[in-house]
Structure 1
């Protein structure tokens, strides 16, 4: 600032206009210092106020009956000697919170999980034990039911209000696998209308033949490998445990196969449940120590279930507990991958697959592994792992051994031979029919004689495959035959089967020589087989060389009736000419078919429909027959319309309607089949009349052609076989063989070309169908007057 123009003794006063300029100049010169100082003062003031101001005390509302709500449920359940926090307001204001001054004491043991209304609903859940079993001889069923009763008593111990429902016993041959082993079923508590938690138990005997165990284990394996299904679809269940029944006479040790199917089940259930093995696998031989081992296993399972009911947990196991793959299931090598042989001159180099060189560097690796000019021995390259795994795992793959379907030392062989079967080779059988015995004595023939002109005493009943893909509730073969969905056994040549079944049949005919009442002329005729019914047991079309076997029958002018269960459309499509082709139609809808036939194929209904389409295409090239087996309480009531739909779809030449034959076997009782399920003949007649009316209403052109009351069987025929007002259901067998020889097994000829003479009057509808040449007798063999 300049004062050069100033005069006088004192300097003049600064002008007021100069002050703002001075303040601005001062701010610009010291603004950074001022800002930092202000921030420091404000921060110090904030800290000072934070520590010095007196904050008001907030109200705390807590339950009088519970500990501090801020604690976890586990801590809340375990704290001892701690007073609950209370706060209440009175006239004087707010009282201070009262807390315990002593240290917290923690109670040891497993903590209980608190069941809240939001988690469990209004009422607590109960545990439902499902006990699954499989059996060929009904022994395991009795063991399973006794076990369930004992387990129920052990869980309740006189207290009916415990959290367990009554255990359910389920046969693996009857249950729907998709319903129980893809997603657990949702079951309701009938007593308290609440949900039920499921716990699976298994009693599984091991068989060295194909049984329902094989299809069940295959279903578990397919479920595990199905990418569309969750890795652990059965994880919602509480847990599982398996007990295996074996035979140490045939399999002395586990390595030799003792309880091998139970071990397999235990492994797959561990995978599907997410390692919820509640109790270790139990094994026992019922002939030796089975009862003791089962009792020990039951005790452990009972304790586990009680712990589960009290705590909601299976408990803490050791490390690795519940692993689906045990230590002896696979060999784990070292992490490193040896790239060069140790015998190489260069130092051995190990690299894990995680830090393996790029593909571009493989040329250098191969070059380094080559033989050096100065060395005599080449460096041999070892296999290079291209995967991203850090461990090389080599699973033990047992050698594939193709086994026999029915070995001679198997329980199935013993059971079938005891029933009168002659086992031919490893998978075929023959048996003399009761109608053959009856015809030899002049006491009547079966429906095939009334309907088609087949002499029962010249008929051989056989099958080239004892295995079946169904477990029908009405199977009169005692359910002991093997089952399977694919052929995986030793295949016997058709020549061996053909010669074997003829030899076995003639041996059984010769055994009838000394039976009282056998007619000499019919015995002589019986020594010449004229017809073969491929319907003994199992699935004949399942045999891989069925066409070759049929050709051998036809070469000796033996007619063929082949029965299939509509579960193998591929084999049916390749089948060549047979004299008459049967398809079992045991139900009119999917659910009823599943209940009656109990098929092993998961797509059984789709296979069934494809077979009907194939029969429709062949109705002008082969005599096709629908066989309807009526089981009261299963497929009789309100199914006429459904059966009419199937007939309209397949348009068979004939429809046989037959009432089920009750044989009183254990298999039938397991399926809930009793004499109450056997329809009276009048009920079968009423059903046939209703079905015929429905078919005529649709204009399909069928009529009631013949009957055989003694077999409880009635025949519906297409009007293609009605000539001049008379039914012609009989077969001209000589004409059939002439056509077959002239045009070959794939020849183009129709069923009308070998249609026989008119049906006998005594066999037509309303006349009973009993051959007048024969004499009817009662169960004691006394003649019955007509």
Structure 2
């Protein structure tokens, strides 16, 4: 009701509101633009007519403390200038410019005052400053030594360096952030404690670490080799972050050399110190605080070490003030690193995805042209009599390549030539290349077993002594590029053998020699058990599963015969893509086939095979295994990848098991390698299943097999490897599982009946599976001591 007594009905108000909304929607753009124009015009008018416009003065502290002066606009500039002069005259930390201004009485404040110091430091809160006072800096001086001279140098250096860092008076010493430097021998420290992550401090302590390494270079086996190998493996370890030492403040390396023995740097002068400097740069996220120092102790070593020490004192002084390396500090920029992990195609081996087609032309270089010469290569080897007139059907890796116009002399190339990018990449990952296409590498489980810290799942399941196991391959090439491959995509790929073929005796002797060399390098590692080290010098088992496709090697049977002649068991892994070679394979101790998917599309996504007929080849291999099930110990190896082959594929896997009827089925969760080719396939840590998920899958698979009338049971597990074993009831005797192997009996059967003779897996079935390895027991040998990543004991429940 209006004041005069009028009343308006709700219907009229509703129509008025609807009309207003309709009017607003129809004319809202002109109204908004008009309003903005009026406001803008008004603002310009007021600024032009205001004769008391103020000047900007960059004095935030004075401005905030003189709020009353802001109200008196006429005399504002004069009053602020007086306050500045007063502040400058009473301040003990004023700059030279301020002093001259006070002496001359100048009041000109035409620009911002220049302030010296760290901007980040000025912005810290008072609480953060109090925390910084409590934080300490611990310098760790690492050294290696054979004769004792480097130890004396390191201890003397640490004492002098510590004296240079600490202050003179007692009051200054109490306020300094530096703790006395610690001197550590690389032959005695646990690398996992210092070079996988910074050392842990006690609760309440806040300590930042700074690493210094004094390293003489030796041309003989020494602790330096073990140390360098640890740095390399840590960098390439899929379970560890690529820069695990990034939390430290910085590092620097000084190398001692002998110019008489190594006159130039290229010939080896301080070469191990340079390697340590390079790998530390990668592990710390490029926190080289001072450049690499080098000196000949017989000549200029003391002078060079003194210069290096003085430079470090300056750098650490800056770190104490600023809290970090900052900008402009020597070495704080991006160092030029050699041997980058990105391996380019050297024109002789195949990497990565096949070239994309564009208008009938391939984007790749001429590195794939040699595949078209398979016919001529085979002719050169005596495999064919005539060059075919029609183009040879080859794999899609050669699709779209123009035919060569003129026939050139065919030179069969080496698979991995020395000093090629492939060779350099594999060797820096810890592989020893034997010949032109074979390799060997010491397994991490071998190192763990030598120290009594646990063996791999093959020990729990089959009784393999991990410290007596050699991991090798006679062929570094593979016909798949699996998304979970650990090899960073650096090994060559191909569908047919087109390289030089090394004789089997060269490979056999070479892999043994290099394996023993790597075992010998473990003798100086803390915790290695003497009895296991002695046993490791006798190879008893060979895992042909390192990288590539071992069955691809043309003389694989001869190589296996050499292993068996020295009573070395053979565990061969193939990827079910070479049925002809599988059919011609003679006896092996245990034959693995990787079953990475249950259907064609899933297999294409996970294994990324190069063969066009990969699914047909896969099924032919399963048929061969079914025929061999009473002649070989056959194993299906299932690698579970979340969001790839884990969900809704139990029934499909059960169908494959029914088709191949293997003796055993190993189910293992994928191990993620962050720097592998998996990144291009969309594989992340989210695709790694938890052990509970693997257990659920195994239980479901067991039920699906029993539903089909197949008698398989859960025989053993190794929780630490996220691996579980399903076994056929053929190996269940008298209420116990017998998954282990009687190796001596296997070799006796080979000698009695020959490599082509017939004998069944039951004839060399070993003793019963240990109780601690059975389902629900975890699978960790109670005789070993389980430790965490820092080497601290862990109780196994």
How would you bin the TM-score normalised by the shorter chain?
0.5 to 0.7
Match of 1:464 among 474, 477, 480: 474
Q: Which residue is 2:673 aligned to?
A: 663
Distance (Å, rounded) in 2 between the aligned partners of 1:263 and 1:644: 42
Change (3 A) 1:715 1:262: closer
Determine if the alignment matches structure 1 residue 208 to structure 2 residue 347: yes
Match of 1:698 among 687, 704, 708: 708
The answer to whether the 8 Å contact 1:472/1:596 transfers is yes
Distance (Å, rounded) in 2 between the aligned partners of 1:644 and 1:242: 41
Match of 1:594 among 581, 594, 604: 604
Q: Which residue is 1:569 aligned to?
A: 579
Distance (Å, rounded) in 2 between the aligned partners of 1:473 and 1:262: 22
Distance (Å, rounded) in 2 between the aligned partners of 1:734 and 1:324: 53
Look up the SS of the partner of 2:653 in the other structure: helix
Q: Deviations over 1:714-742 (max 9, x none)?
A: 00000000001100000000000000000
1:785 Cα deviation (Å)? Answer: 1.7
The answer to whether the 8 Å contact 2:476/2:491 transfers is yes
Look up the SS of the partner of 1:608 in the other structure: helix
1:479 Cα deviation (Å)? Answer: 1.2
The answer to whether the 8 Å contact 1:547/1:575 transfers is yes
The answer to whether the 8 Å contact 1:208/1:410 transfers is no
Distance (Å, rounded) in 1 between the aligned partners of 2:368 and 2:537: 48
Determine if the alignment matches structure 1 residue 398 to structure 2 residue 408: yes
Q: Which residue is 1:747 aligned to?
A: 757
1:210 Cα deviation (Å)? Answer: 2.2
Determine if the alignment matches structure 1 residue 582 to structure 2 residue 688: no
Look up the SS of the partner of 2:726 in the other structure: strand
Counterparts of 1:369-518 in structure 2 under 5 Å? 395-518=405-528
Distance (Å, rounded) in 1 between the aligned partners of 2:590 and 2:566: 17
1:240 Cα deviation (Å)? Answer: 7.7
How many residues align? The count is 427
Distance (Å, rounded) in 2 between the aligned partners of 1:705 and 1:735: 22
Q: Which residue is 1:782 aligned to?
A: 792
Distance (Å, rounded) in 2 between the aligned partners of 1:448 and 1:408: 33
The answer to whether the 8 Å contact 1:206/1:262 transfers is no
The answer to whether the 8 Å contact 1:583/1:627 transfers is yes
Distance (Å, rounded) in 1 between the aligned partners of 2:636 and 2:493: 23
Q: Deviations over 1:505-532 (max 9, x none)?
A: 0000000000000000000000000000
Determine if the alignment matches structure 1 residue 650 to structure 2 residue 660: yes
Distance (Å, rounded) in 2 between the aligned partners of 1:240 and 1:743: 56
Distance (Å, rounded) in 1 between the aligned partners of 2:614 and 2:721: 29
Q: Which residue is 2:170 aligned to?
A: none
Q: Which residue is 1:722 aligned to?
A: 732
Look up the SS of the partner of 2:524 in the other structure: coil
Q: Which residue is 2:195 aligned to?
A: none
Distance (Å, rounded) in 1 between the aligned partners of 2:588 and 2:369: 45
Distance (Å, rounded) in 1 between the aligned partners of 2:783 and 2:506: 38
Change (3 A) 1:538 1:241: closer
Q: Which residue is 1:736 aligned to?
A: 746
1:212 Cα deviation (Å)? Answer: 4.3
The answer to whether the 8 Å contact 1:209/1:412 transfers is no
Q: TM-score, normalized by length of structure 1? A: 0.53
1:396 Cα deviation (Å)? Answer: 1.3
Match of 2:649 among 610, 616, 639: 639
1:410 Cα deviation (Å)? Answer: 1.1
Q: Which residue is 2:779 aligned to?
A: 769
Change (3 A) 1:396 1:674: same
Look up the SS of the partner of 2:572 in the other structure: strand
Distance (Å, rounded) in 2 between the aligned partners of 1:485 and 1:644: 29
Q: Which residue is 2:534 aligned to?
A: 524
Distance (Å, rounded) in 1 between the aligned partners of 2:715 and 2:369: 56
1:209 Cα deviation (Å)? Answer: 2.8
The answer to whether the 8 Å contact 2:351/2:489 transfers is no
Determine if the alignment matches structure 1 residue 709 to structure 2 residue 715: no
Change (3 A) 1:700 1:261: same
Q: Deviations over 1:659-694 (max 9, x none)?
A: 000121141212211110000000000000000000
Q: TM-score, normalized by length of structure 2? A: 0.52
1:261 Cα deviation (Å)? Answer: 4.2
Match of 1:684 among 681, 688, 694: 694
Distance (Å, rounded) in 2 between the aligned partners of 1:324 and 1:408: 28
Look up the SS of the partner of 2:522 in the other structure: coil
Distance (Å, rounded) in 1 between the aligned partners of 2:628 and 2:450: 36
1:752 Cα deviation (Å)? Answer: 0.1
Distance (Å, rounded) in 1 between the aligned partners of 2:727 and 2:684: 31
Q: Which residue is 2:366 aligned to?
A: 260
The answer to whether the 8 Å contact 1:469/1:567 transfers is yes
Distance (Å, rounded) in 2 between the aligned partners of 1:711 and 1:454: 15
Distance (Å, rounded) in 1 between the aligned partners of 2:704 and 2:407: 58
The answer to whether the 8 Å contact 1:659/1:679 transfers is yes
The answer to whether the 8 Å contact 1:630/1:636 transfers is yes
Q: Deviations over 1:737-766 (max 9, x none)?
A: 000000000111000000000000000000
Q: Which residue is 1:672 aligned to?
A: 682
Change (3 A) 1:517 1:649: same
1:208 Cα deviation (Å)? Answer: 2.3
Change (3 A) 1:687 1:205: same
Q: Which residue is 2:567 aligned to?
A: 557
Determine if the alignment matches structure 1 residue 605 to structure 2 residue 615: yes
Distance (Å, rounded) in 1 between the aligned partners of 2:610 and 2:756: 31
The answer to whether the 8 Å contact 2:345/2:351 transfers is no
Change (3 A) 1:241 1:648: closer
Change (3 A) 1:739 1:672: same
The answer to whether the 8 Å contact 1:205/1:261 transfers is no
Distance (Å, rounded) in 1 between the aligned partners of 2:369 and 2:637: 41
Distance (Å, rounded) in 2 between the aligned partners of 1:440 and 1:584: 28
Runs of 5+ unmatched residues, structure 2: 1-235, 237-342, 372-399
Q: Which residue is 1:32 aligned to?
A: none
Q: Which residue is 2:547 aligned to?
A: 537
Change (3 A) 1:263 1:448: closer
The answer to whether the 8 Å contact 1:506/1:527 transfers is yes
Q: Deviations over 1:389-414 (max 9, x none)?
A: xxxxxx41111110000000211100
Distance (Å, rounded) in 1 between the aligned partners of 2:542 and 2:752: 22
Change (3 A) 1:616 1:782: same
Query: Which structure 1 residue ranges, 4+ long, deviate > 4 Å from structure 2?
Result: 239-244, 261-265
Q: Deviations over 1:131-162 (max 9, x none)?
A: xxxxxx9xxxxxxxxxxxxxxxxxxxxxxxxx
Look up the SS of the partner of 2:423 in the other structure: helix
Counterparts of 1:55-66 in structure 2 under 5 Å? none
Look up the SS of the partner of 1:762 in the other structure: helix
Change (3 A) 1:775 1:207: same
Change (3 A) 1:725 1:510: same
Change (3 A) 1:541 1:261: closer
Runs of 5+ unmatched residues, structure 1: 1-136, 138-203, 221-233, 245-258, 266-322, 331-394
Look up the SS of the partner of 2:523 in the other structure: coil
